[in-house]
Chain A
Amino acid sequence: MPGRTLFDKVWDEHVVGEPAPGVSLLYVDRHLLHDLSGARGLREVQERGLGVRNPALTFATPDHTVSSAPGRNDDTTPRSGQFVRDLRGMCRALGITLFDINDPAQGIVHVIGPELGLTLPGVLLVCGDSHTCTHGGLGALAFGIGSTEVAHVIATQTIRQKKPKRMRVNFEGAMAPGVAAKDLILHLIGRIGAAGGNGHAVEYAGAAIRRMPVEGRMTVCNLSIELGAKIGMVAPDDETYQYLAGRDFAPKGELWDAAVKHWRDLPGDADARFDKDITIDVNAIRPQVTWGTSPEHVVAVDERVPDPGTVSDPDRRKGMEAALDYMDLKPGQPMEGLKVDWVFIGSCTNSRLSDLRAAAAIAEGRKVAEGVHAWIVPGSQAVKRAAEAEGLHQVFRAAGFEWREPGCSMCVAANMEFVPPGMRSVSTSNRNFVGRQGPGARTHLASPAMAAAAAIAGSITDLRKLQG
């Protein structure tokens, strides 16, 4: 028998049956719900006269619609109240643990899962949200599902899936100063395209991943879906176990020892085969920034806006032209120096403590440029507390950033926190789609340090120029 990949091993552990040829029924270890779709899924199950099959494995938090304004409540964002109250009511009625709006454990669902130790190596975790792939940074098999699938999981604690193909991306070499996890994954998307991972479960490997702290691995896995892959994973190692030890829902004592022993067998066999195997030279990667309306529209910060005229495929060319028009850019224009109106540092991609530290290192002792609105939205209450304990909030405030409450906020603008039409934003989130940060908003994706540098300079700037 050929060797198995990390993905294969975790998949195999969860197979309950084969309800149809080529379809596996998989056991779901962790199901996370949020305010945007959670209550709807629960209600659908209830209306069918069914219950939650395993409420103890189901956890909920409001993140998408909640306001990020300091001192917020359910109704600070007018529309949010209904979503939050629906979720709260359903969770109460059905016995599901809810980390409510101002609970000490509230936050973006993909930030709190790992930090509470709900996400563990080898678990199968699903959520009605495409960035569920984030949890793969700890070696979980985690993917986003639609609302019909959410209802299926609630009612049965299982999910029907076809096995995807396997792809490995080896990030070899060392990251240059000023280069972040975000730059590695944006660079990869630029190389193989936003459809490059369609139909695959991706495993990220190589020296740069092994040296990367767990939070960075989560950032890499987070953008798997922007690569077209709904699953991204990193094999667990001592770094992972150190990160998880002692977290609220992580196993303790003997159970912990047994779990670690089990986890040590999860990394793929040396002779495991992948359908696609790609190697990226990390040494050559420079800080990245997107220019268009797909994450594959990305260049290094010292490069220029590409020319659609050089692209032969007419539909791709038209897509690029439409993107340039939407973004109000001209081919050949340098990325550096583009004037910026908004900066958003947050989202499940880049709102963890290490991200805020990287942004604060740039902000420290400097001022946000005049006319720029710069927001810091920590990913969770725990991140916010930890950052405040280090005084990061003071660094940001002194520089003129707003220090806000945890949630998705301007990543998706479901809470009515928009980048105004026509305004240019540098954002640490994961999608630069048309209208994503609000109708007409022009989004450039970048790392936290790059976003902080843009806020200080008032324009897209190579952060390395601000580093000592």
Chain B
Amino acid sequence: MEKFESLIALAAPLLRPNIDTDTIIPMELLLTVERKNLGPHALTPLRYAKDGTENPDFVLNRPGYRGARILIAGVNFGCGSSREPAVWALWAAGIRCVIAPSFGDIFFNNCFKNGMLPIVLPQSTVEDLAAAALPGSTFRVDLSTCVITTPAGRRVQFEVDPANREALLTGLDEIGMTLQQDATIAAFERNDRQRRPWIHL
């Protein structure tokens, strides 16, 4: 898996609440476009007008926000379906970090499996960061110190669960790690067969 250590990049504010994974990558595109080509299709319903031309008002289409790698988002970002291609599409569009007051639970987990850093901060802090994200200004996000630095030099501390932080910093292979626990899993199964025999078909 890709690692995440730190990032210096443009940040784009997109505070609308409840941006769902169907909006991040619609089903039709998920089914027909290869993973590495999903970038131009991320956030399609917001990014393009009905006729397929770019929506000039959409933040990632505006000068000074194109190429943003940090998204400052509203509550419940990534709610809805479990589709991991939602993370892949944002990744392919260059996004590496999403800052929001809350996330859809499954999307949040999927981020850590794909080298994407989701940061939860109080709504008022997210709004402050969004206000500081003027066109063309860069933020620094450092996972080793858990600090966001705004263009004006304000430092905002954030928290990431230690296991998830470790996974991002080292690019952990979780399947490989769990397979090393095979004897423990087998012992659990033996025991469980006695305890809940109806489970083991």
Contacts and interface: CB of A to CB of B under 8 A. Distances in A.
A60 B74 CA distance: 36
Contacts of B51: none
Contact of A120 (B26, B82, B198): B198
B142 interface: no
Interface of B: 15-18, 20, 22-23, 26-28, 31-32, 45, 50, 74-76, 79-84, 87, 102-106, 109-110, 113-114, 161-163, 166, 174-175, 177-179, 181-182, 184-185, 188-189, 192, 196-201
Contacts of B192: 27
Top 8 A-B pairs, shortest CB-CB distance: A20-B163, A195-B76, A251-B198, A148-B113, A146-B110, A146-B84, A315-B15, A144-B82
B79 A414 contact: no
Contact of B75 (A20, A48, A164, A195): A195
Contacts of A272: none
Contact of A194 (B79, B114, B174, B200): B79
A22 B201 contact: no
B27 A230 contact: no
Contacts of A105: none
B74 A315 contact: yes
A145 B108 CA distance: 11
Nearest to B74: A315
B185 A228 contact: no
B166 A146 contact: no
A156 B185 contact: yes
B185 to A, nearest CB: 6
B105 A228 contact: yes
Given A319-B18, A440-B50, A198 B26 contact: no
Contacts of A436: 22, 27
B4 to A, nearest CB: 15
9 contacts: A16-B184, A19-B177, A146-B82, A148-B114, A152-B175, A318-B16, A319-B18, A431-B81, A434-B22
Contacts of A65: 31
A145 B82 contact: yes
Contacts of A194: 17-18, 76, 79
Interface residues of A, number: 75
B116 to A, nearest CB: 12
A56 B178 contact: no
B76 A228 contact: yes
Nearest to B50: A440
Given A27-B189, A414-B31, A434-B23, A130 B106 contact: yes
B17 A198 contact: no
B156 to A, nearest CB: 20
Contacts of B83: 37, 146
B175 A431 contact: no
A51 to B, nearest CB: 11
Interface stretch (A206-214, A255-263, A357-365): A255-263
B76 A198 contact: yes
Contact of A431 (B15, B17, B22, B188): B22
A13 B104 CA distance: 26
A306 to B, nearest CB: 15
A413 B105 CA distance: 24
A25 B180 CA distance: 12
Contacts of A23: 161, 163
A414 B27 contact: yes
A412 B105 contact: no
A463 interface: no
Interface string A428-445: 000101111001100000
A258 B197 contact: yes
Given A22-B163, A228-B76, A259-B198, A152 B106 contact: no
Interface in A151-185: 151-152, 155-158, 160, 162, 164
Contacts of B31: 65, 79, 414
Nearest to B22: A433
A115 to B, nearest CB: 16
Interface in A238-252: 249, 251
B80 A229 contact: no
A347 interface: no
A447 B177 CA distance: 45
Nearest to A21: B162
A128 interface: yes
A17 B187 CA distance: 11
A13 B15 CA distance: 40
Contact of A164 (B17, B104, B105): B105
B105 A16 contact: no
B181 A315 contact: no
A198 B185 contact: no
B98 to A, nearest CB: 14
A134 interface: no
B85 to A, nearest CB: 8
B178 A25 contact: yes
A322 B58 CA distance: 13
Contacts of B74: 315, 319
A226 B161 CA distance: 25
Contact of B27 (A162, A251, A413): A413
B163 A199 contact: no
A72 interface: no
A394 interface: no
Given A123-B199, A193-B76, 17 more contacts: A16-B185, A128-B82, A130-B81, A130-B106, A144-B82, A145-B82, A148-B114, A148-B174, A152-B175, A155-B178, A155-B179, A157-B189, A160-B163, A164-B105, A194-B18, A225-B106, A251-B198
A397 B45 CA distance: 36
Contact of B199 (A16, A29, A148, A440): A29
Nearest to A20: B163
A296 B199 CA distance: 37
B80 A439 contact: no
Contacts of B106: 130, 143-146, 225, 230
A18 to B, nearest CB: 10
